[in-house]
Structure 1
Amino acid sequence: MSLIGQIWLKLFLVLVLAFLGSVAVHTDAMRETLQTQLRLKNSDNATALALVLSQQKGDAALMELAMSAQFDTGFYRRIRFVAADGTQRFQREAAPAPLDAPGWFERLLPIEAVPGVAQVSDGWRALGRIEVLSHDTFAHDELWHAVKRAAAAMAIVGLLAALAGALIVNRIRRPLELTVEQARSLERGEYVTVVEPSAPELRRLVRAMNSMVARLKMVFEGQATQVETLRRQANCDPLTGLASRNHFMGQLATVLMREDGAAEGGLVLLRVLDLAELNRSLGHDVVDRMLGAIAQALQAYTERVKGCFVGRLNGSDFAMCLPVGGVSEETARALTEGLRAVLPAFGKSAAVAAGAVELAHGVPMAQLMSEADMALARAEAQGAFAVETAGGAGSALVKLGEGSWRRRLHEALADGRIALVAFPVRDVGGRVMHLECPLRVQLDLDGSFEPAARWLPLAVRARLTAALDERALALALSAIDDDGQPRAVNLAIGSLADSGFASRLRAQLLQSPRAARQVWLEVPEAAAADHFELVRELGRQLRPTGARLGLEHAGERLGRIERLFELGLDYVKIDAAISHGLSRDGTRAGFVTGLVAMLHSLSLQVVAEGVNDAADAAALWQCGVDGQTGPWVSAQADAAD
């Protein structure tokens, strides 16, 4: 047998043994787990049923009715009640349910169902004991399905291992094939060097051929260098080496309009936030190195993804075109997360935001860039390392133009076409802690009141966020005077930059002292992380008014905010991205528990945002949160009404 054949035989034997061993270990562990769960289930059900029977005050008819109702659920093989004197008062048994698992599997891997036993009493008087035995067929079926899944997974792993083995075997065969291919490449005028193999017989031949190829290659590299220098001068940004704006736009236009271009793709715009301030605070040399780091991060995508190209559109804006559709948002988030770990090394205030848009063949360039710019504007409004995608809201803004929407915002503010909507925040007892009241703006006279996603990006650009937030507070104070219900108002990050904003809010609250004590004001977590001093000043101004101050959408960066206790906060709202699916993720539940404990140690109330279902709500209560809000909470309130 050849050497390659021997290697393949050994690899096959190892994979078979690993497959059988892994499936056997997994099956045994799963069987033990199911037996334990079945035993605990019987015990818990017996305890629960005993509690129900104890509440019947010894009434035999009611107790029998309760036991029959429990048995009729169909999950039990036997329920038996033995009185205190030892006589059997009730017993019902059911035949085993049919198995999905084959009979040989049940005999090979038996699962013992231990009955659950609990004492039944009426006060201090013992009534007897209840025995509950669940069907074990469900456990056998689950074990059967788990074994099949494990076997399938192990088979896939085995196939992957076989592929890896094929790669290793090819490494042995490859030096001979590369030597032949190198000779053929010289015939085609290609200059390819080959890694010297470990075999001494081939190493000298390959070394000589590589030397000859290197000398020939040097002649042509001189010419290639001159050509590359000219290309970079014409098409590349001198600082970062990326494509210049004109060159990038030309490439993008070709992708959009070329007959053989991709049917769809993606465009990501990346903006360095407040570049002018970074130049003043960090210096041009540091900022130049930071821009170079961003360029390297973008360039890495072009090296990994064929057809991807990047460019620098202006001093603070970068762009990347993706050759496939459906991944623009994912790519933008991956890029910003990577830069989140890199940019702080240049300065704490160094940050970016990204906008993403899907593109299709034949889409006008102006429309595509406008949608991408609006997505970037929304991301910039959210703050550092935010990502937004172009959607219906962004497209509508683009169609009318930025100037038109700015005028509409001014008119809506002047005419008072703004309103608050209310969503309840409830505590563990179901009581309303406060109403969460985001602002809505009627941009068209006959239109609906639009959420902030539609108008906030341009409100930031138009410097109208402070005026809108002050009007929202006035509406909340008026509503509190009417019904006495506490209300929470969201404040934009852009409003904090207004030097007189905090003092104006204070004066507004002091004019309505009773209602002010029912006001909850909240700013995004990004505001505390990126503008610590501004949030601390806001807390200092609000403290004498009795209004509460909190953070919303928190959790991602909360642990990295130094001196959190100095902000003067009263509560924190955990972002919906953290609370969503919490019931199915024990690791995240542990994180939330620790986060809540940390915040409670600072005497801060904790509210969970965006709760979608009862399972998550229950998990959040177990984590120790003080309140919850979201679709599920609102639905419960509507059902109660």
Structure 2
Amino acid sequence: MSLLKHLLLSVSLAITVILVGTVWLSVDSARSYLSAQLQAQSDSAATSLALTLSQPFNQDPVTQELLITALYDTGQFYRIELYSAKGELLVSRVGDESLPTIVRGSPAWFSDMLPLRKAVSMAQVSDGWRQTGRLVVEADAGLARDTLWASFMQILMVVLIAGVVWAFFVWVLMRWLRQALRDEVEVRVEGMLTNKVQIGNWKRARFSELREVTRTIDEVREKVMVTQQEQSARIESLQLELHQDEVTGLANRKYFINEMRRVLDADKNGGYVLLFRQRDLAAINTIMTRANVDNWLRNVGEQVSQVFHQDHNQPVQLARLNGSDFVVLLPNLEGPDIAPLTDMLLTVLARLRVQLPSGQFCRWALALTDYRYQEDIATVLSRLDRALMRAESSGHNTVEFVSRSDDGGVGLNAAGETQWRQLLQEGLAERRFLLSVRQQPDHLKQNSYTRYEATLMLRHTGHSEGQDEKPISAYLFMPVAARLGLSAVCDLRAVELALEWLTDNQGDLVIRMSLPTIVQPRFLQEIQSCLSRSSVDLSRLYIELDAYGVEAHSDELETFCSAMKEMGVRVGLRRLLEHIGVLRSVQTLQLSYVSFSTDVIKEMVQSPGGMELLVAASNTCARLGVQIQLNAPITEIPVEAQKILRA
């Protein structure tokens, strides 16, 4: 409760006590006065009646009774009694005490609370010098009580009216005091921030007691304004430091996450998020000074920023998440608008590559995903991370795209590394891996075929119903396994399952193997041990590799292919045309087949140089006895390309 309310409540309580005391004293004084008047009336009436009854001609009992009755009928007396000299009751006139309150006038509780003293008087009746009787007269207090009750009600009404007037006065006083305090203190304090109070207004203060207070407030206000300006400049500087990456000057992770949350809640059209990671930043730090690395990263940020702002009118947010990760938020974009941007980004990043001590250039991994209105940010970032894992495990420099509709049927979009690790380890321990086998047609020659292609799958047990859900394809879990260091055991399990399938089935079987698995030092010994224990004809087993691995880890792949050749296992290579430089290594790898993409062939035949490369690749494979395999029917490519491949 405020100090003002305490003060007014105390004053109101004191006034209430005074008014109540005044009412009580006034009524009590009136009661005493009326009691005295009643007693005087009784004394006078008793003396007068006794003298009348003492007259000789009034000694007759009938006359005495008539005189007493006449006096009683005046209504001023409650009781008149005449006793003989011996104390016998001769005449008695007494009022009715049982009359209701409405008849008596004042209520019973009032008479009980403020009773009037009984006004009883006695006088002697004599006949000359002889006492003949005793007279008792008691005045009726009813009229006095009614008069006292009326007086009480009048005083009470005056007190109540005074109380209402006081309450209204207090209410007006409270408003006036509050407004005065607000004008003198509160408004000035608020003006310290809003700058709306003129300095020097303390001279017009309503209360002399507050003049010094308002003067002090105005002085403090001047100091606060100076301090506020300094703090505002400091806060602005800190906000820039808080929201910017200190090396590149781009937005940092915290600012980007907040901005992405805002866009997800506001952008009803949806958009895309693009992330690109420098995979060899640690190696770059070993060959360049810290200052040079910072300059190089700053140059990357500037040139990438130019790519997304030169021909793009929509707001684009570019940020650096950590040392090697950059991210771009692309709201309000359609699918066809993304392709030109990613192509320009790939060109810029390829131009900015740094040559490593091994002679190779540093690698970029690019991931892309889309988002929809009011989608959970954790789901979007998890999907983007899964695309990044695919890009890292695939080994190529193109963009890996994971759509929001691509959940693999297992509902693991938002799963983190811990959940994936547990899922993979349980799958290995409980032998939940299996192979999905399908026939592999020969699209080039269109002959009968007996070759099959296997995809590693993982049975996923649902936690809610305890039943197996749709198996997870290696396309989903192998990028995660590569990041967690579990790709080797997964690929080794695929080899074991492939050998079991070859034991029970006819035909050849192709299994794919990831690059992170082959470059692990102990994997070659483990797969050799696994193959040596099998009694299957190993020439029926094909291991398919990615052509990018030959460029990135040529020595490791040559060693692996040579070891597989010695054990009788055949090796294939996919996406050769995407990495045409691998042609010089086809002979040393001792390949059994290479896979051509029909989409790439369609692009190559559109230029003379591309046609020459296609001819060179086809002739090289034919000269080395390496089979060419298409991923789609040959009828889908132009006729001139069909002639080259059929030759």
TM-score normalised according to structure 2 size: 0.55
Residues 462 and 451 of structure 1: CA distance in aligned 2, closer, same or farther (over 3 Å): same
Which stretch shifts more, 438-447 or 391-400?
391-400
Specify the alignment match of 1:409 in structure 2: 424
Tell me if the contact between 1:270 and 1:353 (Cα under 8 Å) persists in the aligned partners. Answer: yes
1:353 equivalenced with 2:353 (yes/no):
no
Please show how residues 75-94 of structure 1 align to structure 2 within 5 Å.
none
Question: Distance in 2 between the 1:236 and 1:287 partners?
Answer: 18
Specify the alignment match of 1:428 in structure 2: 445
Which stretch shifts more, 245-254 or 276-285?
276-285
Specify the alignment match of 1:437 in structure 2: 454
Tell me the amino acid that sits aligned with residue 302 of structure 1. H
1:594 equivalenced with 2:616 (yes/no):
yes
Question: Distance in 1 between the 2:614 and 2:362 partners?
Answer: 28
Secondary structure at 1:607's aligned position in 2? strand
Residue from 299, 305, 311 that aligns with 2:312: 305
Post-superposition Cα deviations, 1:156-182, rounded to whole Å, max 9, x if no partner, equal: xxxxxxxxxxxxxxxxxxxxxxxxxxx
Question: Distance in 2 between the 1:305 and 1:577 partners?
Answer: 29
Post-superposition Cα deviations, 1:343-386, rounded to whole Å, max 9, x if no partner, equal: 44444241111221223332332232222222222222212423
Tell me if the contact between 2:595 and 2:629 (Cα under 8 Å) persists in the aligned partners. Answer: yes
Q: Any unmatched runs of 5+ in structure 2?
A: 1-232, 462-466
Question: Distance in 2 between the 1:451 and 1:616 partners?
Answer: 29
Specify the alignment match of 2:256 in structure 1: 248
Specify the alignment match of 1:511 in structure 2: 533
Question: Distance in 2 between the 1:423 and 1:529 partners?
Answer: 30
Q: What is the CA-CA distance between 1:495 and the residue it aligns to?
A: 0.5
Q: What is the CA-CA distance between 1:311 and the residue it aligns to?
A: 0.6
Question: Distance in 1 between the 2:543 and 2:517 partners?
Answer: 13
Residue from 323, 341, 346 that aligns with 2:350: 341
Tell me the amino acid that sits aligned with residue 281 of structure 2. L
Tell me if the contact between 1:329 and 1:357 (Cα under 8 Å) persists in the aligned partners. Answer: no
Tell me the amino acid that sits aligned with residue 279 of structure 1. N
Larger Rg: 2
1:520 equivalenced with 2:545 (yes/no):
no
1:536 equivalenced with 2:558 (yes/no):
yes
Specify the alignment match of 2:395 in structure 1: 383
Percent of aligned pairs with the same amino acid: 22
Residues 604 and 266 of structure 1: CA distance in aligned 2, closer, same or farther (over 3 Å): same
Question: Distance in 1 between the 2:470 and 2:262 partners?
Answer: 40
Question: Distance in 1 between the 2:468 and 2:431 partners?
Answer: 14
Post-superposition Cα deviations, 1:491-533, rounded to whole Å, max 9, x if no partner, equal: 0112113211122222222333652122111111121121212
Post-superposition Cα deviations, 1:404-424, rounded to whole Å, max 9, x if no partner, equal: 233222222223221231232
Specify the alignment match of 2:509 in structure 1: 487
Specify the alignment match of 2:580 in structure 1: 558
Please show how residues 83-162 of structure 1 align to structure 2 within 5 Å.
none
Q: What is the CA-CA distance between 1:270 and the residue it aligns to?
A: 1.3
Specify the alignment match of 2:282 in structure 1: 276
TM-score normalised according to structure 1 size: 0.56
Q: What is the CA-CA distance between 1:319 and the residue it aligns to?
A: 0.8
Tell me the amino acid that sits aligned with residue 419 of structure 1. L
Secondary structure at 2:370's aligned position in 1? strand
Question: Distance in 2 between the 1:617 and 1:412 partners?
Answer: 45
Tell me if the contact between 2:547 and 2:582 (Cα under 8 Å) persists in the aligned partners. Answer: no
Q: What is the CA-CA distance between 1:614 and the residue it aligns to?
A: 3.2
Tell me the amino acid that sits aligned with residue 481 of structure 1. T
Tell me if the contact between 2:393 and 2:516 (Cα under 8 Å) persists in the aligned partners. Answer: yes
Residues 241 and 250 of structure 1: CA distance in aligned 2, closer, same or farther (over 3 Å): same
Residues 572 and 613 of structure 1: CA distance in aligned 2, closer, same or farther (over 3 Å): closer
Specify the alignment match of 2:102 in structure 1: none
Which stretch shifts more, 307-316 or 265-274?
265-274
Secondary structure at 1:397's aligned position in 2? coil
Secondary structure at 2:285's aligned position in 1? helix
Question: Distance in 2 between the 1:386 and 1:589 partners?
Answer: 23
Q: What is the CA-CA distance between 1:334 and the residue it aligns to?
A: 1.7
Residues 230 and 405 of structure 1: CA distance in aligned 2, closer, same or farther (over 3 Å): closer
Residue from 318, 324, 334 that aligns with 1:316: 324
Q: Any unmatched runs of 5+ in structure 1?
A: 1-224, 627-641
Residues 582 and 230 of structure 1: CA distance in aligned 2, closer, same or farther (over 3 Å): same
Q: What is the CA-CA distance between 1:277 and the residue it aligns to?
A: 3.7
Question: Distance in 2 between the 1:595 and 1:257 partners?
Answer: 51
1:501 equivalenced with 2:510 (yes/no):
no
Tell me if the contact between 1:425 and 1:436 (Cα under 8 Å) persists in the aligned partners. Answer: no
- Aligned-pair Cα RMSD in Å: 3.3
Residue from 394, 414, 420 that aligns with 1:399: 414
